[in-house]
Amino acid sequence: MSLNFYRRVAFGLSLNDKKPDDPLNWALNQVNTLPDLLWPGSIPSEKEMRKKYGEWVYGDRKILRKKYKNDKNAYKKAKDELRIKTGERFFELNEHAIRHYQTKNSKQPVFERFWLFWGNHFAISEKDFLAEFSTGPYQREIIRPNMIKTFEDMVQSVTISWCMIHHLDNSESVGPNSKSKQWNPRETINENHARELLELHTVSPSAGYTQEDVIQLAYIMTGWSHKWSNKELETGDVWFDQDKHQKGEKQILGVKYKNDAKRELFKVIHDLATHPICIKFVSTKLCRHFITDEPTAEMINPVINVWKNSDGNLVEIHKEVIRQAFKFNNNTHKFQPPELWLMQLSKIFDLNIPAPAEKMNYQFEFKPSRRQQQLTWWLEEIGHSPYRAKQPNGWSDFEVDWVSPELLLRRLWFASKILPNFIKKENNGHEFILKCLEKNFDDHSKMAALIQNYKLELTKKDIERKYGIICNLPGVLKV
Amino acid sequence: MNCTRRNFLIGGSTTLFLSGFFPKLSLASIQKKNLIVISLRGGMDGLTAVPVIGDNRLKKLRKRLILENTLKLNSDFALHPKLEIFHQLWKKDKAAFVHATNIPYTGRSHFDGQNLMETGAHTPYTEKTGWLGRGLLASDIIGKGLAISLPMPLLLRGVPQNNNFFPSPDFVQTKLIDSIYNEFTGAHNELIRSTFDTIKKRPISMQTATNSDDRDKLALEAAKQLKDPSGPRVAVFDLDGFDTHAAQGGVDGAHADELEEVNNIVNILYKNLGTSFDNTLIVTLTEFGRTIKQNGANGTEHGYGSVILMAGGLLKKSQVYTDWPGLKKKNLFEGRDLDSTIDSRAVYNSAMSVCFNKDPDFLRREVFWGDNLPDLSQELFKV
């Protein structure tokens, strides 16, 4: 078996990792249980973070805008201070540290790879202040615990999570025959969340649903909204507001749903999450993520079968994806998107990434330090800030979306200009890099020959060239 | 007055008369012509950008989104006040608009819609290349595309060796590429290898570091490149944020902020292209328009018909070119959206034919599978 399997389903091996005797079982055994989050620094709860979100929007919208309505500059200054006081400038940095510490140090790195996959399947794109306050906690508290349950459980939790409800505007959706509509005739349904639940999260357009199906699902979803209050604004808990709910029977993809208030949603989610087209769509996406851009029926069908036989048990599904990734490991190529590449380099070369927890202490007094901002900044610069996908369909799994002059140049930039500064002191020297290559790449001697000229590390430039070259070789950009 | 279904098309018959005919190489066609496409992602609201002032129904349906101080274009249409440069250019016959138009897509999904606005196809995700990329390839214009964004937009794919400009914070040694280039062998490494080829051909000014958050600087560099006779002939800008389900607002709302960005880019291009602006055509592209009616959050929902904003010296004259469908309930698409009466791909096909000096009928067959797209170059552009 080729060594790239450890990068295909995980992040590669660090020098301290023991090389597994049985790579397939090593991987399979990692997805049974939910690993703890290891970050020694602060891990705030979703609820806590929503409160911070509320403090920020309330402070800005309700207080500062009124207070400084005639003084643009004073308003700007006060707003900047509020950003610091509420942690608006800080929390995303901390989330990136939690995430990258986990992928680097987890005892179940294969589990973490699936975590990244699901977080992106149920993506929260860049909207309002979600990336600053909510997307990270959502990934930890909504996505993660469901990874040892069923796909249906995951869809349910995601659909009624505050983060997704806010992201796709469902709180603004009001049924045309609801009580709320009578009080306020201007209110209407908002189809956004219903459409994405069909298109991105479950059955995909290949199910052939119509605009009417979208509207009907939006009707079922009316009422699922944040509890609004004057102080919390839109950051209250999600609840089912009967007054906004569209009454009467609904029909989606030919199935009728009787008038049953909040229970309607769980029934339709059950039908969507177990729909054969949904199973095929998501199985294909899993194979594409781990195996190759255009997975074949030979790869996908075993996953579909396991899905059906296990009633959508994600542990079993993950295991089958691993088996297929193992089976096709030596004759497929899979491009590694920038964040994943960075995580793998961080693991393989044991880089000082993320910043240590004690450096991530934040006092809500001054703007975050340079060290605190670094990881987030790099992720943006290499084109893959994980919680800021541009659209609700998340980041692409296709190579063609990741290869452009600038994106390749930025990898060269990161590998040569940034990475060498984050190698631990004890790991300086040519021997270290050779050992890391040997542990992770079958053609390590060929790779070593390419950097032979710089082995003496006479100047800083030599080290820059060495890592610039190694990290951008075809076998490192891809598995 | 009430603006109902009316035909603003003048000289429609000349289209037929001239179809299949394309002038031989003239002086104008020897000069390099630039085509600039600005993608407006999220669904640009044509009725906010170019409101119809001749129809009271718009005001009735959008009580909270009413615009003040619009810039008058003619008796029927006005311009959003943030699109100020378009108004200036309008007065010089260098701005025009195609209204009640869009790609033939009525599904109202961003992802499907954006896929189709870029591929020009009928079914989402069936095509892997963009209409602009195919148009360049069919016109034998290779390596002349420039994307002002970090990922390469689908719109430009289909022709090799495009460039993109969104510089990294430090100078990157392109020498490093020489050390790894030969390792990229085999078909599965072809994409990366050809991208390295593109990088190696970049002019020096594109190799210097800058701050890519500064959109002005990016537009400035694009203008500099486009002005160069041996530089790119096509540039693509990408803007998002037009999906204003909430707080769309009027003159100062969320949609206005986005329009201001478009205005800013066009302004910089205009100021810096100099005389090359006369040989330039700027067009916008979006996946759909928005519902006529405002929703409960003072925003609008996904709709159908929108508007194409155009600027540049290759325009024939200042005009709002439209086959206006009207805003009466029965005129609306599915009773809710401004209808699209012009397939916007006809505009893009005609624009490519003018900028690439190619017969529109040839491009229509090569790029759009021979779809029925009338040649509008006589009406819209200087041929």
Q: Smallest Cα–Cα separation from B33: which of B377, B364, B356, B273?
A: B356
pLDDT value for B110: 82
CA angle (A411, A345, B208) in 5-degree steps: 20
Which residues, in sequence order, are bridge partners of residue B163?
Answer: B146
Query: Is residue B369 assigned to a domain?
Result: yes
Which residues, in sequence order, are bridge partners of residue B96?
Answer: B310
Which string of DSSP letters, residue by residue, matches A324-366? HHHHTGGG---BPPHHHHHHHHHHHTTB--S--GGGG---SSS
Instruction: Count Cβ atoms below 10 Å from residue A1 Cβ, excluding itself.
Output: 11
Beta strands in B240-346 (DSSP E): 280-286, 306-311, 320-324, 342-343
Structure tokens at B241: 């944020």
| C-beta of residue B158 within 8 angstroms of C-beta of residue B152 | no
pLDDT value for B297: 64
d(CA B91, CA B3): 23
Query: Is residue B341 assigned to a domain?
Result: yes
B173 with A412: Cβ contact below 8 A = yes
Structure tokens at B23: 């002038």
SS3 for B18-57 is HCCCCCCCCHHHHCCCEEEEEEECCCCCHHHHCCECCCHH
A190 with B168: Cβ contact below 8 A = no
- For A18, the enclosing helix (H) or strand (E) is none
Query: Is residue A231 assigned to a domain?
Result: yes
Contact list in A for residue B112 (CB cut-off 8 A) is 199, 205
Query: Is residue A308 assigned to a domain?
Result: no
Question: How many percent of chain A have pLDDT more than 90?
Answer: 89
Residue type, position B170, single letter: D
Which of B:243-272 have CB within 8 Å of A? 245-246
Query: Is residue A297 assigned to a domain?
Result: no
Task: Output the CA–CA distances (angstroms, integers) from residue B123 to B99, B111, B112, B116, B126, in the order listed.
Answer: 24, 12, 8, 7, 6
pLDDT value for B15: 35
d(CA B147, CA B152): 6
Among candidates B183, B195, B302 on the partner chain, residue whose Cβ is nearest the Cβ of A403: B195
Rounded to 5 degrees, φ, ψ at B180 are -110, -15
Q: Smallest Cα–Cα separation from A235: which of A102, A413, A47, A89?
A: A47
Which residues, in sequence order, are bridge partners of residue A402?
Answer: none
Domain range for A350 is 338-477
Instruction: Count Cβ atoms below 10 Å from residue B6 Cβ, excluding itself.
Output: 13
Q: Does B75 touch chain A (CB under 8 A)?
A: no
Query: Is residue B217 assigned to a domain?
Result: no
Query: Is residue B211 assigned to a domain?
Result: no
Which residue among A274, A302, A321 closes a domain? A274
Q: What is the ipTM of this complex?
A: 0.95
B195 with A391: Cβ contact below 8 A = no
Among candidates A211, A405, A468 on the partner chain, residue whose Cβ is nearest the Cβ of B163: A405
pLDDT value for A191: 87
pLDDT tens digit at each of 383 positions of chain B = 344 444 444 333 333 333 344 444 444 446 899 999 999 999 999 999 999 988 888 888 887 777 778 999 999 999 999 999 999 999 999 999 999 999 999 988 887 899 899 999 998 767 878 999 999 999 999 889 999 988 778 899 888 777 777 777 677 777 899 999 999 999 999 999 999 998 888 777 776 666 667 788 889 989 999 999 988 999 999 998 898 766 676 667 778 889 999 999 999 999 999 999 999 999 999 999 999 888 766 778 899 999 999 999 999 999 999 999 999 999 999 999 999 999 999 999 999 999 999 999 999 999 999 999 999 999 999 98
Structure tokens at B11: 């000289």
Structure tokens at B220: 């400035």
Domain range for B360 is 6-12+26-131+233-380
Query: Is residue A253 assigned to a domain?
Result: yes
Torsion sign (Cα): A401, A315, A333, B177: positive
| C-beta of residue A343 within 8 angstroms of C-beta of residue A414 | no
- Most A CBs within 10 Å, among B126, B180, B182, B225, to test the A interface: B180
**Cα atoms in the 13 Å half-sphere on the side-chain side of B381:** 30
**pLDDT one-digit tens code per residue, A98-134:** 999 999 999 999 999 999 999 999 999 888 899 999 9
d(CA B87, CA B75): 15
- For A239, the enclosing helix (H) or strand (E) is strand A238-240
Among candidates B151, B170, B191 on the partner chain, residue whose Cβ is nearest the Cβ of A413: B170
Q: Smallest Cα–Cα separation from B145: which of B187, A409, B127, B154?
A: B154
Query: Is residue A112 assigned to a domain?
Result: no
| C-beta of residue B49 within 8 angstroms of C-beta of residue B310 | no
Residue A270 shares a structural domain with residue A349: no
Based on the structure, what is the number of domains in chain A?
2
Structure tokens at A97: 């540290």
Query: Is residue B200 assigned to a domain?
Result: no
Which residue among A236, A257, A274 closes a domain? A274
Beta strands in chain B (DSSP E): 6-7, 34-40, 71-72, 78-79, 95-102, 145-148, 163-164, 234-239, 280-286, 306-311, 320-324, 342-343
SS3 for B186-226 is CHHHHHHHHHHHHHHCCCHHHCCCCCCCCHHHHHHHHHHHH
CA angle (A50, A51, A57) in 5-degree steps: 85
| C-beta of residue B81 within 8 angstroms of C-beta of residue B303 | no
Q: Does B194 touch chain A (CB under 8 A)?
A: no
β-bridge pairing B71-72 and B78-79: antiparallel
Q: A147: which DSSP letter?
A: G
Structure tokens at A444: 């390590």
Which string of DSSP letters, residue by residue, matches A246-295? PPS-EEETTEEE-S-TTHHHHHHHHHHHT-HHHHHHHHHHHHHHHT-SS-
Which residues, in sequence order, are bridge partners of residue B239?
Answer: B40
pLDDT value for B166: 77
Q: Does B143 touch chain A (CB under 8 A)?
A: no
The per-residue b/e assignment along B176-191, b for 16 or more CB within 10 angstroms, e otherwise, is bbebbeebbeeebbeb
Q: How many helices (H) and strands (E) does chain B have?
A: 14, 12
β-bridge pairing B342-343 and B95-102: parallel
Structure tokens at A140: 């930890």
| C-beta of residue B338 within 8 angstroms of C-beta of residue B5 | no
Largest Cα span, chain A: 79
d(CA B91, CA B254): 27
Closest chain A CA to residue B154: A401
Which residue among A274, A290, A315 closes a domain? A274
Query: Is residue B176 assigned to a domain?
Result: no
Rounded to 5 degrees, φ, ψ at B256 are -60, -40
Q: Where do we find the tokens 């939790």?
A: A157
Q: How many helices (H) and strands (E) does chain A have?
A: 25, 4
Domain with B336 in it: what CATH number?
Answer: 3.40.720
pLDDT below 70 — which residues of chain A?
Answer: 70, 72
B147 with A404: Cβ contact below 8 A = yes
How many angstroms separate the first and last alpha carbons of chain B? 35
Q: Smallest Cα–Cα separation from B7: which of B353, B306, B332, B320?
A: B320
pLDDT value for B24: 45
Residue A261 shares a structural domain with residue A163: yes
Contact list in B for residue A401 (CB cut-off 8 A) is 151-152
| C-beta of residue A14 within 8 angstroms of C-beta of residue A432 | no
Among candidates A399, A413, A464 on the partner chain, residue whose Cβ is nearest the Cβ of B168: A413
Query: Is residue A416 assigned to a domain?
Result: yes
Query: Is residue B171 assigned to a domain?
Result: no
Instruction: Count Cβ atoms below 10 Å from residue B227 Cβ, excluding itself.
Output: 19
Based on the structure, what is the number of domains in chain B?
1
- Return the SS3 of B378: helix
- Most B CBs within 10 Å, among A61, A210, A406, A476, to test the B interface: A406
pLDDT value for B208: 66
How many angstroms separate the first and last alpha carbons of chain A? 13
Contact list in A for residue B108 (CB cut-off 8 A) is 191, 195, 211, 214
pLDDT value for B348: 98
CA angle (A125, A131, A135) in 5-degree steps: 80
Among candidates A390, A416, A477 on the partner chain, residue whose Cβ is nearest the Cβ of B173: A416
- For A6, the enclosing helix (H) or strand (E) is helix A5-8
Which residues, in sequence order, are bridge partners of residue B147?
Answer: B164, B236
